[in-house]
Chain A
Amino acid sequence: MTVRAGFTGTPMDTSSSRRGGGWRLLGLAALLCGVLAVFGDDYQLRFAAEIFLVGTAVMSLNVLVGYAGLVSLGHAALFGAAAYGAAVAAQHWGSDLLLMLPVGVACGMALAALMALVSYRSAGLFFLVLTLVVGQMTWEVVFRWRAVTGGADGLRGFPALTVAGLPASHPLALYALALTLALACGWVLRAFVSAPVGHAVQGMRDQPLRMRALGYHLGRLRLQAFLVTGAVAGAAGSIYPFVNQYVGPNTVHWSMSATLVIMSVLGGIATLAGGFVGAALYLVAQTQLSSWTDRWQLLIGLLFVLTVIFVPQGIVPALRRRFRS
């Protein structure tokens, strides 16, 4: 479980007291996951799997936004392209995890590379718009290319997920898979941000001019940040269609990218664990509130505003402070 401890890291140097707070939060999260695995019904397990997968995508966005300082409005396209890539591949070659994962990772990385290329020299608002454009181009392809993607109807009817030939479509199996993937991706991102390249990416966020004077090539750093976050978002996206045996064009729409950004801010942009907290909060609020009122988006907006006012760094950093004191 040392992996999970990494989730509570921040872009700053970790101190022992910070880790102390992290361990207690980690225990709580592990307990919650265990309780859910034992007592959760099929619906809850599928829902939790969805939270893990979307949370993994948000976690990768956190690395891009919080650590690299690159605010992207096209991140859902990486996740969604991988989901479509996996679903289409499943129709032709079967849906084994050993195929789905590489396909998803490749889709995510390819699109991330394109985004890095298109936004090569841009910053701030221009960067935001260029990532949005690439994202919407992806949506356009998905929406218009009916023969392959099913257009507005999305894709259904692809085979259920297997792992090395064994069926993995049972909700508990999906839950376990999604959790394992989330932990593995967390470990990868943790390794990235604490390696020299991750430090350099944070240096690019804080002092781009100094980084150039030190001899770091900012384009190269940006590409690396895009590739690693694209790979992680792609890995999460590759399993996503199998949670409900469906993938629709909304997965790649820009509004989904905006939702990921909102989840990111709710949980805390400069944390890895924040991705899951933000995704859980948003998705739970969405399903619970929408069964109760049509104006659920208003309430989520209110939640967002309250977060920004009272815990501007996000919920996870606030919880961590709380647990430490």
Chain B
Amino acid sequence: MTPVLQVAAIQKSFAAVPVLRQIDLEVGAGEALGLIGPNGAGKTTLFNIMSGFVTPDAGQVRLQGRDITHMTPECRARLGVVRTFQKSLVFPTMSVRRNVAMAVRAAQSTGYQWWRAAPALRQADAQAQALVEAGGLASRADTLAANLSYGEQRTLDLLIALAQRPRLLLLDEPTAGLSEAESHRLLDLIATHHADIALVLVSHDIDVVFRMCSRIAVMDLGVLIANDTPHAIRADARVIAAYLGMPARLIEGAGS
């Protein structure tokens, strides 16, 4: 079966400084790939290339076999390439329900409608409400997003992404700044929805990556230094070397 996402021989430099060299990755449906590495390893650039916000200098990005390397982020989104950002990007002056409805409408292409009473929109609102309830924000459905707590905004941010009906879901630090309980709730939410979605997860929280991912890719200075099962990664000498200064944390995290 063709993998959902294929990244082949990707290269990218910013002002003659190479940021990514020869990156090859694959993620299949139902699979979760963790992307880890120290700051400046090139994770975010790779994310931007996958989602179309940055064009690579060389190499290919394929979605279910189709070359999407030069496709705009908007077009990719309509094909089911969905991403979040390091910061929560929610719509502050809209209610929680409308935040999610914005994404549902985009997915069903009713986002530009001039007529608010169309049946498709009632359906979109119902879908949004269902997702808000699934995310545990039912009591906050009519609250303006600006008035949510940090953790609730993080959840809403994820709900917006899920409402886009992703085929490929790219999550950038989804649990950053969350308490352990909050982060577990968020990961459960992801787990219940990603059965047939290909998931790529960037996180500094090694714990989260080892818990969620079936495969882990480790990057350092723009090079992919390992791409294997969590078990193998834990024992990889190069990985431990790249994380020099925090091997204890890596191993500790991996063990729990």
Give which listed residue, B94, B113, B142, contacts A197 with CB less than 8 A.
B113
In the complex, number of A-B residue pairs with CB atoms less than 8 Å apart: 89
**Is B229 an interface residue, CB under 8 A from the partner?**
no
A202 to B92, CA, bound (A): 10
Say yes or no: A215 contacts B78, CB within 8 Å.
Answer: yes
Complex interface: chain B residues within 8 A of A221 (CB): 112
**Distance, CA A213 to CA B164, complexed state (A):** 10
A270: shortest Cβ distance to chain B, in Å?
Answer: 9
CB distance A206 to B111 under 8 Å? no
Are A213 and B73 closer than 8 Å at their CB atoms?
Answer: yes
- A214 near B106 with CB under 8 A, answer yes
Q: How near does chain B come to A314, taking the closest CB pair, in angstroms?
A: 16
Given A197-B112, A199-B102, A216 and B94 contact (CB-CB distance below 8 Å) = no
List the B residue with the shortest CB-CB distance to A210.
Answer: B89
Q: Which of A200, A212, A213, A214 contacts B112 (CB 8 A)?
A: A200
The answer, yes or no, to whether A11 is at the interface (CB within 8 Å) is: yes
Task: Determine whether B167 belongs to the interface, using a CB cutoff of 8 Å to chain A.
Answer: no
Give CA–CA (A216, B112) in the complex, Å: 9
Total contacting residues, chain B, CB less than 8 A:
36
Is the Cβ of A196 less than 8 Å from the Cβ of B105?
A: yes
Query: Which one of A97-105, A187-195, A249-257, A260-268 is at the B interface?
Result: A187-195
Pick from A11, A12, A13, A200: contact of B111, CB under 8 Å: A200
Task: Give A39 to B106 CA distance when docked, in angstroms.
Answer: 52
Residues of A within 8 A of B102 (CB): 199-200, 203, 214
Inter-subunit contact B94/A196 (CB<8 Å): no
In the complex, what distance in Å separates the CA atom of A12 from the CA atom of B84? Answer: 24
In chain A, positions 217-255 with a C-beta closer than 8 Å to chain B are 217, 220-221, 224
With an 8 A cutoff between CB atoms, is A325 at the interface? no
In the complex, A3 has a CB within 8 A of chain B: no
Q: Which of B26-34, B114-122, B216-224 binds A?
A: B114-122
The reply to whether the CB of B85 lies closer than 8 angstroms to some CB of chain A is yes
In the complex, the answer to whether A220 meets B92 with C-beta atoms within 8 Å is: no
B residues in contact with A13, CB < 8 Å: 94-95, 98, 142, 144
Is residue B160 within 8 Å, beta carbon to beta carbon, of the partner chain? yes
In residues 103-134 of chain B, which contact A (Cβ within 8 Å)? 103, 105-107, 110-116, 121
Which residues of B are in contact with A by a Cβ distance under 8 Å? 51, 53, 73-75, 77-78, 82-85, 89-95, 98, 102-103, 105-107, 110-116, 121, 142, 144, 160, 164
Q: List 19 A-B contacts (CB under 8 A).
A: A13-B94, A192-B114, A196-B116, A199-B102, A202-B93, A203-B91, A206-B91, A209-B85, A210-B89, A210-B90, A212-B73, A213-B83, A214-B102, A214-B103, A214-B106, A215-B78, A215-B164, A216-B106, A216-B111
Q: 4 other contacts beyond A202-B94, A210-B160, A213-B73, with CB at 8 A cut-off?
A: A13-B144, A197-B111, A200-B111, A207-B89
